[in-house]
A and B are shown apart, each in its own frame.
Chain A
């Protein structure tokens, strides 16, 4: 098996060598995107193109600058690397162009499923997938004699046993930091309960319902087994709790599993037993309480056609099989031909197989996400009822949606 992988990798490396000469552009490319290894790989791949200048600005603050950087004419950035939640902000401001012409002329070899189409127009090209799934300690589950949890109810039962056995006082982890993370956990749990966020086809919010309350109640039940500081724990902090050997079960991003399972930051006993599982379901539902995410690239509207072609070709090259090698293979769940998954990616593949919903690409979803992040903590702190917290989130969203012109 290892030999096969190695052979494949070297074959791909050879391909990369030949492909380098293949990418010729006649125009300038300027990339803005998030800052993590997989995005660096894409930007470096694009930079291999010859014939024009390719520069990139990769920063964790990319969302604060990409809209402004693409609104000018000509735009500062010819492409933004975004995810399904953030492509919406670019579309709302009308700063990215449909890619249909470019795909027809230069992108026939891009697999169809990578093309993100909205209303029949190609708006982005996806290159990697991500989802939150279960991460668990194999040794601890064996010790208490429990199967790998498939539902959140199983997680609660296992957590109680782990606590009763005196292994860990707070065995459950989760990125419950008030704000974006907490809202994301609610979105997961609400989707798992079969909830819909809006009245169909409108921007009118509808989360204060049975599913909403059930989602919050489950989150609160889980927090009873979490470190009391859970409202300050983002994915970094809760990942650190697992590496420290305190957390035995948690819902975690596929893109971060590699960090948990490598030799850095944890004892051998811990990292060798951390295992990736499928996403969890909840409340007897069959849809996982998780959302699927993709990362992809776009092309700015306010640039010359020449630069648009150059950008398209460079980004296509940056997300082509040519970028895959030994080092880059494990950086993400690449949606690129020639990618061979490792065990660390089992969770994301399981999420796709189980029919996990993708995070909604609605123009007003971001406003709801902000409102949820600001209003759900009061319930988890025991200051108010679930219905009140949901009503607050709805009211905050409605006021914001009026300011943004989505509701009148």
Chain B
């Protein structure tokens, strides 16, 4: 394609990306480098229905001049990034000096909000992504080998978890694992412990969130693999059969290599999606046991006082996290492209 026509082809989407992706990210980055003005506090008497008492309020007149001079707030540089609610550099080094074992150090780190969130986020990402790929592949192969007239129905039911709104899907599971729900009661029976409660135990809550993650995302991997399976060359498969390959060998040596590019694609999408894990934590009310970076952003913005700078810093750190996570896959894709 000529450079000129290429330019006109990509211009609309490039403009849209600039407007809806690039500029917002720039604004978030700028926000993350600023904190609010010094708030001038004055002591006042506050009276409500129930009486008067001494209280404080922001002196708006005194603060107005500060706001006027610098509408963005005080420039803070990386201060927000490094404070306790984010990378917590000084707390981390203090912990490093104070603790003697890795185990102790790890436990102390998980007490810091950012590391607690990243701990769960990474565990979730690296457990759920491979399981989604494997399960999606197994379902795709199974559906593909089912009788033709059954396939439509099977595909429909296999896709159901993806069609359900994440918040609702997670809520359904939340009620099922309740101590008096069907799964919760079954678990109590199997474990022989009438007091067993998934919602009260951190490890069980983590497992439940990951089970939900796999349940919700496996249909995506399934449908991509299923589409891929339709393009497997029947001639190659037949040749393999003639050579005496059994079903497993056919899958191992013909189908898996054929679907490898799709696996890269699914892994890419899933790494990104799982790194942003959010809905199940809200639906499961799991924040006492597990938090994620996205949940931290939501929590900053959902309080009675919105913490925009804090949310902006966490957002930038999330973007960096996604970039680091995807870099091996992207480098690989680039090399393949280069080879061609």
Contact = CB atoms under 8 A, between A and B. Distances in A.
Contacts of A369: 303-304
Interface in B269-289: 284-289
Nearest to A198: B56
B84 A363 contact: no
Contacts of A113: 49
A339 B302 CA distance: 35
A367 B307 contact: yes
A358 interface: yes
B221 interface: no
B285 A91 contact: no
A357 to B, nearest CB: 8
Contacts of A408: 38
Interface string A343-376: 0000000001000111011111111011000100
Contact of B307 (A203, A335, A404): A404
Interface size classification for chain A:
35 or more
Interface string A243-272: 000000000000000000000000000000
Contacts of A129: 49-50
Contacts of B178: 229
A292 B304 CA distance: 17
Most buried by A among B38, B113, B179: B113
A358 B307 contact: no
Contact of B309 (A64, A363, A403): A403
Contacts of B41: 201-203, 363, 406
Interface stretch (A48-56, A114-122, A152-160, A309-317): A114-122
Nearest to A360: B55
Interface in B298-340: 299, 301-307, 309-310
Contacts of A399: 83-85
B94 to A, nearest CB: 12
Given A64-B302, A367-B307, A399-B84, A384 B111 contact: yes
A91 B56 contact: no
Interface in A88-123: 88-89, 91-92, 94, 113-120
Contact of A392 (B43, B74, B111): B111
A159 B304 CA distance: 34
Interface string A270-302: 000000000000000000000010100000000
B2 to A, nearest CB: 47
A63 B306 CA distance: 10
B35 A361 contact: no
Interface of A: 63-64, 67, 84-86, 88-89, 91-92, 94, 113-120, 126, 129, 177-179, 200-203, 227-232, 234, 292, 294, 335, 352, 356-358, 360-367, 369-370, 374, 377-378, 380-381, 384, 388, 392, 395-396, 398-400, 402-406, 408
Given A113-B49, A228-B179, 8 more contacts: A64-B302, A114-B49, A116-B49, A201-B41, A361-B46, A370-B299, A380-B288, A396-B85
29 contacts: A63-B304, A86-B304, A91-B58, A92-B58, A117-B45, A119-B44, A119-B57, A120-B44, A120-B45, A126-B49, A201-B54, A202-B56, A229-B179, A229-B200, A231-B199, A231-B285, A335-B49, A360-B55, A361-B46, A362-B55, A363-B41, A363-B57, A363-B305, A369-B304, A381-B289, A396-B85, A402-B35, A403-B83, A408-B38
Closest 6 CB pairs of A and B: A119-B44, A366-B304, A178-B288, A377-B288, A405-B36, A366-B305
